[in-house]
Each structure stands twice: as C-alpha cells, then as structure tokens.
Amino acid sequence: MHTNWPKLDYAQWQETCSALQLYTQIVGKYRLARTPWVNHSWHATFYVTPRGLTTSLIPDGPGIEIVFDFISHKVVGTGGDGRTASFALTPTTVAKFYDTFTAMITELGGNARYDRHPNEVPSPVPFDEDHVERPYDSDAVERYHQALLSIDRVFKRFRTAFLGKCSPVHLFWGSFDLAVTRFSGRRAPLHAGGVPAMPDEVAQEAYDREVSSAGFWPGGNGTENAAFYAYIYPEPDGFADAEVRPAAASWNTDLGEFILPYEAVRTAEDGDAALLAFLRSTYVAAASLADWDRDLLECDLGDPGTVRSPDPHP
C-alpha cells in the first residue's frame, strides 16, 4: 500500500506556493486561450503526472504540451514537430517568468498573445507588471508534488464509484485546487457569480448543473493550512449538519463547505482510507439530502482488472 503523505507546512512555503499558483496561471491562461471551450472550464485545467503537472496537448502551432517538472524543477515545452524547450524554476519575478514562458511558446511555434491578468486572487497585478521577487523552495515543491500523487490516487479511486457525469481529477489554476466533481444531471439555479477577478459568466457556466464537488488546497482560500474540502451546489437544507467522516472533518461556516485538514490524513493509520471516508460520506450526505437518483448514478468502487458489474450494486 502506498503511504506517501508528506508533511506540508503552508506557513513555511506560502510565498513559493503563491508564486507557483501565478506561474500555473500564466501557463493555464495560455491553454485557455488556445483550446476550444469545454463544459465547466475543463479545457483549461492541469493533470498530475509522475513528474509534476501537465497541460496535456494544446492545439496551438504544431501542437504543444507544457509540463511543470517538479523533480528537475523546470518548465518543459514539447511541440508536435519534435521541438523542445525548457527553463528552470528558480527564485524570480512573475514578470520574468511570463517573459520567459511567452518566449518559449514562440520558440515552439505557438501564439504567445493572450490575456495577462490573473484570476481568483486578491488585488491582481498583470503578469508582465509584477516585479516582486519571489522565492522558490524546491524541497517544499517536491513534498507538494508527492502529496498530489497520493491525493490523485485516492480521488481517482473515488471517481470509479459513479456512473453519471463526472469530471476528471484535475487542477484548477485559478484557486489552485485539485478537484473531482460529480453531477446529478439536473439543471441548477443561476449562480450569483462574484468570484474575485473572474467574469460572472464563467462561474455561471461552471455551476449550470447540480454538483457535488471535493478537492484539495495546499493552503489559503480561507484555510490556514493544507486541507480537503467538499460542497454541493445548490446546497440542500441540513447539509451543514450532516454527519461525515473522519472525526477530524467539520463544517466551515465562512466557506460553506466541509473541511478536512490534510494533517489529519497524513497522520492517520491509513491515509488513503481516511480521505476516501471523507469523500464518500460528504457525497452521500449531499446526494441524499438533494434527492439525487442514487440507484441510477452510483456503483461499487472499481478494482484493477475487474469489469464493472451491470448491476450497480451487486
């Protein structure tokens, strides 16, 4: 059993984490500008790899993939015509990162012109105007990557137990969260929007269907340290009072979400089981209270090499 749940001290690497979020936004907004829109902004996200994060193939120029390599600490670009380019992740400014990245896209044969404004961060400064020196703690980034590998593993196992529409396990660079989202199949009321530095129409499209979502923040976003979250939209009566597991999970009134500290998973006898219990119990509470068609939507957890039974609950 994999048990790699490294210690994450947000206070120790907060400035590096903030910088990394902005760097992923620079790359993510490039992908956003060149990829046809997919429901709920799924076309703009990143995916966890053994070495870090990838954009997957972006339909620009010869076809371009960008990888954040957290082992070699580089940003690596690969073109469909065989060209490659890279630059090191080091202490720098957001403006320098932006300039270096856009030069790399041009070198790979892509179009480096796109929106240069951050999203979902307080007091956003255009990328090419942000000259504040930022640190880069490579050890902390490696621990974060190892945590992502473990979280991705559990999230993907959780995803197997749902037959309805479900998102990939993917990282949203706006709020810098790794997330997986299930859908009831029913329309939702119009979302109020109001997300900082993000057009209301984007939030409204993201939440145009009923969702039960769970994810992971490395810190910030209303939490003092790394934490898992779970919520439902629209929220049914009684959800905040639902009994969820493990015992360390609790309702956060300010966020309107259940929160489970990452440290509680890291220190659990079985971290995978503790996180899976949180994902499953918060979903069951959400789907039951919102009257989702659970018999239609759910099945047993999947196992490698075993075909799913036609009976959702054999």
Residue 138's pLDDT is 98
Count of structural domains within the chain: 2
Look at residues 118, 64, 77 and name the one whose alpha carbon lies nearest to residue 95: 118
Over the stretch 70-89, which tens digit does the pLDDT of each residue have?
999 999 999 999 999 999 99
Residue 1's pLDDT is 44
Task: Answer whether residue 309 is part of any domain.
Answer: no
Rounded to the nearest integer, the mean pLDDT of the chain is 96
- In angstroms, the CA 147 to CA 204 distance is 31
> Range of 158's domain?
139-297
Residue 146's pLDDT is 97
Residues 129 and 15 in one domain: yes
Task: Answer whether residue 287 is part of any domain.
Answer: yes
pTM of the model: 0.96
Residues 42 and 116 in one domain: yes
Residues 107 and 224 in one domain: no
End position of a domain, from candidates 117, 134, 151: 134
Residues 50 and 143 in one domain: no
Residue 310's pLDDT is 74
Look at residues 106, 85, 108, 104 and name the one whose alpha carbon lies nearest to residue 96: 104
Q: Yes or no: say if 11 and 137 are a contact pair by the CB < 8 Å rule.
A: no
Q: Determine the Cα angle at 152 with ends 230 and 32, to 5°.
A: 85
Instruction: Flag residues of the chain having pLDDT under 70.
Output: 1-3, 312-314
- Three-state SS string over 106-152 comes to HHCCCCCCCCCCCCCCCCCCCHHHCCCEECCCHHHHHHHHHHHHHHH
Residues 56 and 145 in one domain: no
Residues 242 and 120 in one domain: no
Residues 83 and 219 in one domain: no
| Residue 46 DSSP code | B
